[in-house]
């Protein structure tokens, strides 16, 4: 993905098309993936009577759905808190500045709860969804107790809700420590005017947004798809940011087939009707 170009020593050229010169250089962001994994994913899709039109880097697809032009111009970080991993993308001056996939996701929180409560992953996941929260989402002055007897299958299995919060805080702090390290690599720690936009299934964890705000010292908001007005409530869940971005990406390729798999991250407001018409094919 090109960041900027250098034409005959002239730096910070965003688009060299139409310029005359002898030497053209480019600063690019290279995104790679293990080819066996990519081939296996494509094979799974093809064997279900569907065709793979293109491979898209998931963090870019999610960013396409939830970040607007002004945020990308001023400087913003998008954090997709997924199940097995979390992805981070940083934009500044409308260009991709940095991207990385981090090996921590919301399923690690589920695993921690399963170990702490000595129960199965399925039960731990249900407890996380029903009672989970970070300490920022709890009133520390209240000594709230939760009864997990029915979920665990043991009599009088009652514990303080703060105990769950401590387990969740530990893994959340690990993730934010990795995020902070990535921000320091590009000298943007606490220095993104548009703040952080959080998506992914883990973004629905109560108390997560204020926890991120306090830790990273940046404004934080929950992701919401920007260009799909009128769809069902499920489609605006931050867990579907990547799927929504893939829809928008595909629509852009249909509108501008000469883009050859690249997205301009442009304004999709003028194409909303075409997006909606396409989505209606899948609605009951």
Q: Give me the pLDDT at residue 259, please.
A: 55
Name the nearest CA neighbour of 94 among 113, 67, 66: 67
Q: Where are the domains of the chain?
A: 106-171
The long-range contacts involving 250-253, CB below 8 angstroms and separated by at least 24 positions, are 250/53, 251/275, 251/278, 253/53, 253/54
Q: Give me the pLDDT at residue 138, please.
A: 62
CB distance 67 to 161 below 8 Å = no
> 25 forms bridges with which residues in the sheet?
6
CATH, range 106-171: 3.90.640.10
**Which residues, in sequence order, are CB contacts of 237 under 8 Å at separation 6+?**
204
Name the nearest CA neighbour of 140 among 160, 113, 119, 111: 160
Q: What is the pTM of this model?
A: 0.82
Q: Give me the pLDDT at residue 135, please.
A: 87
Sites in the chain below the pLDDT cut of 50: 261, 264, 266-272, 275
């Amino acid at each position: 993905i090109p960041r900027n170009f250098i034409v005959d020593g002239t730096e910070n050229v965003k688009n060299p098309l139409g310029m005359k010169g002898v030497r053209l250089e480019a600063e690019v962001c290279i995104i790679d993936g293990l080819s066996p994994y990519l081939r296996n994913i494509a094979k799974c899709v093809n064997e279900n009577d569907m065709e793979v039109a293109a491979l898209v880097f998931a963090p870019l697809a999610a960013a396409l759905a939830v970040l607007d032009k002004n945020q990308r111009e001023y400087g913003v970080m998008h954090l997709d808190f997924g199940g097995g991993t979390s992805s981070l993308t940083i934009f500044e001056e409308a260009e991709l500045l940095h991207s990385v996939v981090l090996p921590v996701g919301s399923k690690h929180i589920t695993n921690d709860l399963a170990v702490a409560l000595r129960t199965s992953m399925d039960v731990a996941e249900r407890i996380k969804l029903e009672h989970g929260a970070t300490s920022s989402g709890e009133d520390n002055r209240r000594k709230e107790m939760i009864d997990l007897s029915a979920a665990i299958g043991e009599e009088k299995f009652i514990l303080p809700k703060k105990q769950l919060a401590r387990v969740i805080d530990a893994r959340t702090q690990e993730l934010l420590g990795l995020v902070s390290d990535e921000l320091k690599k590009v000298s943007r720690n606490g220095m993104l005017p548009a703040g952080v936009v959080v998506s992914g299934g883990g973004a629905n964890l109560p108390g997560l947004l204020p926890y991120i705000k306090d830790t990273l010292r940046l404004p934080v908001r929950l992701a919401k798809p920007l260009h799909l007005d009128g769809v069902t409530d499920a489609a605006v869940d931050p867990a579907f940011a990547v799927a929504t971005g893939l829809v928008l990406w595909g629509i852009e390729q249909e509108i501008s087939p000469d883009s050859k798999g690249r997205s301009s991250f442009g304004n999709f407001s003028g194409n909303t009707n075409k997006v909606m018409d396409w989505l209606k094919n899948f609605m009951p």
